[in-house]
């Protein structure tokens, strides 16, 4: 059995639960079939196992270095990316007109999870490039697409997103990078960008940076931000790579985990930039891509949690230690630790987190495949949860994986400690958990008169009604509570008090969403027999009975109107 | 303000809350006074800051190495230990007759926390040695004390505890190391020991291992275990260090954190060992030391959480980013992030965890200073909580410290990521969290007819009655629930079902204990004015209103008699 990911689970989620095969009835996916989906899933599993997983530890131990001139990355990374590029998955969801495969997002996502689970750091170079290319396909000019996007999709260039700056991370309104029009249609870019994943390396001929900057004369705040293409090298009219542009690597950040992906501080010094779309719309363009980018982060968190769980399960079945508490005979042989209830607790909780998280990201991805007012709205509401929930709970699965391994899990001789370190980033980048809480409670559930929340709750209740009452009823009751709590929080229309406990709101809603997806899987498994389906039933029951009740106190807190945190005088800390 | 630990808080806890000065009325501490206590606290703070903290990062980046012959440790470690030894704190709590200071445990613990917070890895060498020496002072012969303990207390030798083996970690019943009497009173020791902290190095003349082994003809299980002194080198009759004994370093473990402390696999090959006390009592001797050792682990977890919190608080006051949610003016200056409610949530939660954890370990330490049937019993009940609660929650403070720092916190340029990695070990060594749950629910709360739990609840209720009713009443109600839940779990007398959710029981009881200690601090702060006392009041209120309610669902689960984990067929996992 693979310890990277479970193909059996993916097959269940894609075909038995989400009925992904039915997507082939849509014109966009008409050339596809379950056979082509399976072929891409097979090749992903194979390459992930053969070309990505084996150097995961090495890319942690021998992280990229910068000698002042060039960045060195272990050679396995470029080799793996080359194999990946040959699959065509870099443009998995893109139009055939640009060489894309027109795969459904949900299938592409299932493929990507294999690579993320096998080697998150190496896969990042490709997934960042795909995100960059998707944005330019949507908002770039035909000339920009020819010059920058096609080479990215051919694997000749990689791409980045340059948003943050040393003084502006969560608050993009404070971006200081400046763009001055030169007069020939290009801009001169000056400033400093921080936390740029894949920001420098020599894996490809050059790097296409997408840079958020403030054009001369633009207003303060996010409305003054525009988006620019700033290549590391100038690209000649014939498409060849020319001299260096004014982009310099100021330094690499040295992270706790996720070390194989370079993370750069970049200096833009009179660099030539090309405006994407219109001035002042930079953040809007970025936000149109944000749903997808945040699914990508949630997906990485799920992937790490999932592989950690499979490693822990395997270890727990092999490792013998101790006896059941009722067995007092010291001469009895030691049993596999999977027989101890507390080890089972960690394993079953992890299963509930990682399979629940995988269901969440696939469900969200499928919404991209069936665009409609309703599905777009639902995705908007779900996105902060898609991003934050796996970052928190699938990371807990990585924590459990260490604990199941005991002392061994704390050593670098086993992979689970790396998964734990790697996954810690996912609660930070692409909007911290705290930012997701503000997004959910401060925007998503109140926009359009609360239509998004109403839609979500409607879908949850429909599923819960079809589930066995003992598990469905508690979920329905919590839906009613969540709706009432939301109304109460916003009754006074005061954001300061409404948002005082936004993280509690995010956690409560997240757990309710996962409970819903477990009920939905339970319904899909109904009347099917065998250990796999029994496992789904057990995990659903576990999540509803052991995990979901934790949101009661969170909703109590929100209902109490507590503003202790908002009112706090921070002089009393310390 | 120090970012290692808060002297102000220690003064409050020791003098205003625990009235440690009154201990000088006891004969054992009659030579001490607040002045001598303060002098040791002062020197601890000073040395921790000057000699321990500066090489904390270096000992992580340049962890000890083994070239097959010798172990290399960065030179700052030996230098720091030398300064520490000169303080006399190595024998802080020991009798004057062996050169000890006869300090109260509670004061010594407060001193040790400084070193642990400044550099957990370096301080471990001393604290392990002190634990070893304490055991031998109690159970060793006068000749063993002269030969092995005195040089340890002089700083010439260090000491270890060798319990675990590759196949026996939590289950010491499965220890395979053998001891054969040679006929001259010594034993020949053969076997392999694992996870030995400080197990090899060249910081001192030699190392005194305390080894759990099975004497020839001894029964299976823990009753067949005896304890042996096995020095790395033979000690000549004149006390000088002679040839190597049959103890070899088989390898060093490479840990995720806590890297500065060597962690060894040791091979015992016809090594000469000296029996401590009587055959068959090895585990009993170890367990007599266990309360202290587990306070030491809890204390390390508190120390790391505490210093992480102080770093996060400092950063949150300096770092500007964004604006309050009600402020829509993008031209307004960015505010220190401590003004954002979600940052305050993480800081206040961390304060509640680390100050609550520090209160717990000091309270437990003071029980050692006032031995009585009642205090001994209370310490027995509290020990699993003292060990596990800080390992879980003060680690969460380290997690919050990273999150408060954002991307910076994830880099090795800031110290908080190391604290997070270092603290991960504390849930594993000296008995995992799962083992602590079994100890609490399976032994401690039912021994002597439940007298220990009754005693604990009595003390909690006494404190809660004296607190403001709005905070005291919920605690009293939960005490009643915990008593009822415990009775119900054990009503059938069946350990398998009673212990099915022992971790939930540990978490619930742990939070209730910390709520009690917060109420107790609240009472001690009553009618005192100023930001420090306001902070205590606020953290107490936060813990009772935001944190304590999470135990409701845990008690609900326990009351439901759920045996899902005990009954699980693990074939359904995966």
pLDDT at A8: 98
B236 assigned to active site:
no
Are the Cβ atoms of A429 and B407 closer than 8 angstroms? Answer: yes
Return the residue matching tokens 């409670």: A441
| Contact residues, chain B, for A441 at CB < 8 Å | none
| Positive or negative torsion for Cα A548, A550, A553, A557 | negative
d(CA A223, CA B420) in angstroms, rounded, equals 38
- CB atoms under 10 Å from CB of B35, counted, come to 7
pLDDT at A133: 97
pLDDT at A399: 98
Q: What is the mean pLDDT of residues B425-431?
A: 96
pLDDT at B479: 98
| Interface confidence (ipTM) of the complex | 0.98
d(CA A524, CA A512) in angstroms, rounded, equals 18
Q: In Å, how far is B167's CA from the nearest CA of chain A?
A: 7
Q: List alpha helices for A147-267, DSSP H.
A: 150-153
Strand locations in B81-140 (E): none
Backbone angles phi, psi at A238, to 5 degrees: -85, 5
d(CA A92, CA A369) in angstroms, rounded, equals 13
Q: A340 with B434: CB under 8 angstroms?
A: yes
pLDDT at B217: 94
Are the Cβ atoms of B545 and A564 closer than 8 angstroms? Answer: yes
Residue A292: is its pLDDT beyond 90?
A: no
Query: Where along chain A do its domains lie?
Result: 432-565
Contacts of B22 (CB under 8 A, 6+ apart): none
Q: A426 with A395: CB under 8 angstroms?
A: yes
Q: In Å, how far is A481's CA from the nearest CA of chain B?
A: 17
| Contact residues, chain B, for A550 at CB < 8 Å | 550, 553
Question: Who among B411, B552, B565 is closest to A553 (CB)?
Answer: B552
- Considering the candidates B430, B470, B507, B527, report the single residue annotated as catalytic: B430
Among A201-210, B330-339, B449-458, B472-481, whose mean pLDDT is lowest? B330-339
CB pairs A-B closer than 8 Å: 272
pLDDT at A1: 79
Residue A288: is its pLDDT beyond 90?
A: no
Return the residue matching tokens 């607040």: B34
Task: State whether residue A397 sits within 8 Å of chain B by CB.
Answer: no
**Nearest CA to B66 among B252, B274, B315, B317?**
B252
Task: State whether residue B338 sits within 8 Å of chain A by CB.
Answer: yes
| Contact residues, chain A, for B429 at CB < 8 Å | 407
Q: Are strands B178-181 and B206-215 parallel, antiparallel or unpaired?
A: parallel
SS3 A206: strand
Nearest-by-CA chain B residue for A328: B221
pLDDT at A328: 78
Q: What is the mean pLDDT of residues A98-113?
A: 97
pLDDT at B327: 84
pLDDT at B291: 83
**Tens digit of pLDDT for each residue in B334-393?**
999 999 999 999 999 999 999 999 999 999 999 999 999 999 999 999 999 999 999 999
Task: State whether residue A396 sits within 8 Å of chain B by CB.
Answer: no
pLDDT at B46: 98
Q: In Å, how far is B235's CA from the nearest CA of chain A?
A: 32
d(CA A205, CA B8) in angstroms, rounded, equals 58
Tell me which of A121, A559, A572 to substitute to probe the interface with B (most B C-beta atoms closer than 10 Å).
A572
pLDDT at B328: 78
**Tens digit of pLDDT for each residue in A500-526?**
999 999 999 999 999 999 999 999 999
Task: State whether residue B424 sits within 8 Å of chain A by CB.
Answer: yes
Half-sphere exposure of B80 (CA within 13 A, CB side): 30
Q: What is the mean pLDDT of chain A?
A: 97
Nearest-by-CA chain A residue for B570: A338
d(CA B23, CA B30) in angstroms, rounded, equals 8
Q: B154 is written with which tokens?
A: 């002089």
Backbone angles phi, psi at B208, to 5 degrees: -100, 105
**Tens digit of pLDDT for each residue in B525-567?**
999 999 999 999 999 999 999 999 999 999 999 999 999 998 9
Residue B6: is its pLDDT beyond 90?
A: yes
Are the Cβ atoms of A565 and B345 closer than 8 angstroms? Answer: yes
Q: A130 with A91: CB under 8 angstroms?
A: yes
Tell me which of B256, B319, B344, B515 to substitute to probe the interface with A (most A C-beta atoms closer than 10 Å).
B256
Task: State whether residue B221 sits within 8 Å of chain A by CB.
Answer: yes
A552 or B568, higher pLDDT: A552
Q: Using alpha carbons only, how large is chain B's radius of gyration in Å?
A: 24
pLDDT at B331: 84
pLDDT band at B117 (very low <50, low <70, confident <90, very high): very high
Q: A365 with A382: CB under 8 angstroms?
A: no
- CB atoms under 10 Å from CB of A443, counted, come to 13
pLDDT at B303: 98
pLDDT at A327: 84
Are the Cβ atoms of B500 and A341 closer than 8 angstroms? Answer: yes
Q: What is the mean pLDDT of residues B242-249?
A: 98
Task: State whether residue B434 sits within 8 Å of chain A by CB.
Answer: yes
**Tens digit of pLDDT for each residue in B471-516?**
999 999 999 999 999 999 999 999 999 999 999 999 999 999 999 9
Q: DSSP readout, B415-470?
A: THHHHHHHHGGGGTTTS-HHHHHHHIIIIITTGGGGHHHHHHHHHHHHHHHHS-HH
Q: A41 is written with which tokens?
A: 């899933």
Q: In Å, how far is A566's CA from the nearest CA of chain B?
A: 5
Q: A264 with A317: CB under 8 angstroms?
A: no
Give residues 124 to 153 of B whose Cβ lies within 8 Å of A: none
Cα dist from A287 to A127, A290, A291, A547, B429, whole Å: 17, 5, 7, 32, 46
Q: A47 with A126: CB under 8 angstroms?
A: no
User: Which residues of A are catalytic, by number?
Assistant: 430
pLDDT at B77: 98
Question: Who among B257, B412, B553 is closest to A254 (CB)?
Answer: B412
Nearest-by-CA chain A residue for B443: A325
Task: State whether residue B395 sits within 8 Å of chain A by CB.
Answer: no
Q: B176 is written with which tokens?
A: 């395979």
Residue A91: is its pLDDT beyond 90?
A: yes
pLDDT at A290: 81
Give residues 169 to 188 of A whose Cβ lies within 8 Å of B: 169-171, 173-174
Are the Cβ atoms of A557 and B545 closer than 8 angstroms? Answer: yes
Q: What is the mean pLDDT of chain B?
A: 97
């Amino acid at each position: 059995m693979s310890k990277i990911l479970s193909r059996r689970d993916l097959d269940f989620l894609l075909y038995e639960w989400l009925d992904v095969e039915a997507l082939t009835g849509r014109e966009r996916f008409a050339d596809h079939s379950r056979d082509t989906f399976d072929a891409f899933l097979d090749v992903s599993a194979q390459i992930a196992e053969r070309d990505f997983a084996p150097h995961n530890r090495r890319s942690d131990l021998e992280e990229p270095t910068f000698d002042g001139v060039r960045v060195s990355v272990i050679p396995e990374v470029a080799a793996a990316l080359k194999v990946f590029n040959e699959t065509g998955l870099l443009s998995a969801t893109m139009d055939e007109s640009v060489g894309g495969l027109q795969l459904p997002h949900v299938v592409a996502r299932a493929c990507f999870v294999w690579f993320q689970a096998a080697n998150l750091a190496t896969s990042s170079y490709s997934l960042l490039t795909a995100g960059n290319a998707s944005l330019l396909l949507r908002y770039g000019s035909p000339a920009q697409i020819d010059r920058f996007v096609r080479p990215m999709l051919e694997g000749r260039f990689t791409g980045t997103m340059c948003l943050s700056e040393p003084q502006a991370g969560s608050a993009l309104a404070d971006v200081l990078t400046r763009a001055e029009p030169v007069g020939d249609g290009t801009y001169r870019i000056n400033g400093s960008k921080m936390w740029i994943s894949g920001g420098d390396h020599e894996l490809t001929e050059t790097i296409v940076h997408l840079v958020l900057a403030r054009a001369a004369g633009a207003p303060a705040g996010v409305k003054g931000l525009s988006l620019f293409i700033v290549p590391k090298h100038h690209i000649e009219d014939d498409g060849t790579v020319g001299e260096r542009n004014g982009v310099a690597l100021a330094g690499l950040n040295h992270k706790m985990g996720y070390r194989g992906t370079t993370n750069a501080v970049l200096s833009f010094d009179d660099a030539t930039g090309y405006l994407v779309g219109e001035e002042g719309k930079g953040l809007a363009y970025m936000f149109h891509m944000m749903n997808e980018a945040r699914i990508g982060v949630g997906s990485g968190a799920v992937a790490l949690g999932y592989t950690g769980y499979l490693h822990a399960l395997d270890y727990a079945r092999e490792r013998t230690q101790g006896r059941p508490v009722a067995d007092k005979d010291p001469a009895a042989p030691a049993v596999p630790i999977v027989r101890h209830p507390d080890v089972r607790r960690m394993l079953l909780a992890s299963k509930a987190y990682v399979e629940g998280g995988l269901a969440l990201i696939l469900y969200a991805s499928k919404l991209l495949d069936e665009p409609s007012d309703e599905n777009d709205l639902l995705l908007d509401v779900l996105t902060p949860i898609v991003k934050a929930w796996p970052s928190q709970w699938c990371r807990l699965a990585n924590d459990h994986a260490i604990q199941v391994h005991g002392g061994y899990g704390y050593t670098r001789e086993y992979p689970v400690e790396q998964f734990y370190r790697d996954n810690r980033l996912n609660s930070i980048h692409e909007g911290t958990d705290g930012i997701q809480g503000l997004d959910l409670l401060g925007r998503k559930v109140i926009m359009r008169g609360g239509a998004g929340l109403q839609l979500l709750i409607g879908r949850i209740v429909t599923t819960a009604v079809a589930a066995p009452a003992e598990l469905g009823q508690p979920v329905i009751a919590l839906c009613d509570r969540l709706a009432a709590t939301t109304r109460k929080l916003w009754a006074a229309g005061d954001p300061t008090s409404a948002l005082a406990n936004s993280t509690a709101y995010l956690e409560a809603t997240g757990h309710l969403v996962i409970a819903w997806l477990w009920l939905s899987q339970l319904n899909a498994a109904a009347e099917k027999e065998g250990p796999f389906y029994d496992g789904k039933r057990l995990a659903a029951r576990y999540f509803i009975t052991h995990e979901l009740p934790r949101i009661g106190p969170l909703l109590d807190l929100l209902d109490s109107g507590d503003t202790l945190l908002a009112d706090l005088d921070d002089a009393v800390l310390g």
